[in-house]
Amino acid sequence: MRWLTNLATSSIGAKVLMALTGVVLVAFVVGHMIGNLQVFAGREVLNHYAELLQSNRGVLWAIRLFLLGSFATHVFMSSRLTLQNQAARPVPYVNQVPIKSTFTSRNMWVTGFVVLAFLTFHLLHFTVRVTHPEYQQLVEHVGPETRPDVYTMVVMGFREPVVAITYVVAMLLLGLHLSHAISSAFQTMGLNTSKYRPITEKVGPVTAVIVVIGNVTMPLAILAGKVPLPPGAF
Ligand code: HEM
């Protein structure tokens, strides 16, 4: 276990843990987006998918705990590194002209905080459903059975302009965070060599653009009335 303590307490170890947990979180974000895009395939398809995800409670909770652990480690390590960097230079440079740093790289802390705030709202909105308790009543009848009507919840959710625009802004900031984070992870893993750089320098921005486009399409299309509510939905 000593190696694990050493890994977690050294700054390179913290960076490696941030990169590894970041890979897990990016994989979740991409997978979640692909799943959610089924909203365009209609109510039956999205609700069936949501029902499938919820069907094995044991597996669902194992995945939730793994994601929560990855997220907590990622946030903890990034906070510790930021505080350590600040402590190493308590008095900032008088004339600091950033060299080779970008607006995004200097604001990772800000975009990361926005993602955390978005996620808190998102879970209260669509998972715990406390912001809109009426979502708890939404069910789809399938023969004699009923299942949660995730489709109607998402469509009703994004028909509220404030909610839709909040998601769009949060997704743009998530994109900025991902773009730099993925490039940074390659650097940490030693893959940013001249041989691999032509590929690695594109993976971050390309992934970010795909995630932003995929995720903003849903609130924008729904807000524009392009995704129908089922007849009788209130
Ligand atoms: C437009 C974009 C998004 C849509 C439409 C969306 C939709 C949803 C819906 C409908 C649920 C509840 C599923 C259910 O109860 O069956 C959910 C849960 C969740 N979403 Fe999203 N989501 C979006 C973006 C994101 C992003 C960017 C993240 C991460 C940064 C995220 C993280 C989560 C998490 C962690 C859960 C809880 C999963 C669980 O354990 O049940 N979502 N999302």
Count CA atoms within 13 Å of residue 147 on its CB side. 17
Pocket of ligand 1 (CB under 6 A): 29, 32, 36, 50, 54, 64, 115, 119, 122-123, 126-127, 150, 154, 167, 174, 215, 218-219
User: How many other C-beta atoms lie within 10 A of the C-beta of residue 21?
Assistant: 22
What is the tally of structural domains in the chain? 1
* CATH number for 124: 1.20.1300.10
* Domain enclosing residue 199, as ranges: 2-89+102-223
- Give the Å distances, CA to CA, from 5 to 9, 19, 84, 86: 6, 17, 17, 23
* Percent of the chain whose predicted confidence (pLDDT) is above 90: 74
Is the whole model's pTM more than 0.75, yes or no? yes
Q: Closest ligand 1 atom to the C-alpha of 53?
A: 16
Distance CA 47, CA 231 (A): 16
Residue 234 lies in a domain: no
Residue 19 lies in a domain: yes
Residue 233 lies in a domain: no
pLDDT (tens digit, 9 = 90+) per residue, 123-158?
Answer: 999 999 999 999 999 999 999 999 999 999 999 999
Give the per-residue pLDDT at 92.
Answer: 61
Q: Which DSSP string do the residues of 155-216 spell out, in sequence order? A: HHHHTSHHHHHHHHHHHHHHHHHHHHHHHHHHHHTT--STTTHHHHHHHHHHHHHHHHHHHH
Give the per-residue pLDDT at 234.
Answer: 58
**Closest residue by CA, ligand 1 atom 1:** 215
pLDDT (tens digit, 9 = 90+) per residue, 71-121?
Answer: 999 999 988 888 887 777 656 655 555 555 677 778 898 999 999 999 999
Backbone angles phi, psi at 5, to 5 degrees: -65, -45
Give the per-residue pLDDT at 38.
Answer: 98
- Retrieve residue 24's tokens: 């897990």
SS3 229: coil
Residue 96 lies in a domain: no
Residue 94 lies in a domain: no
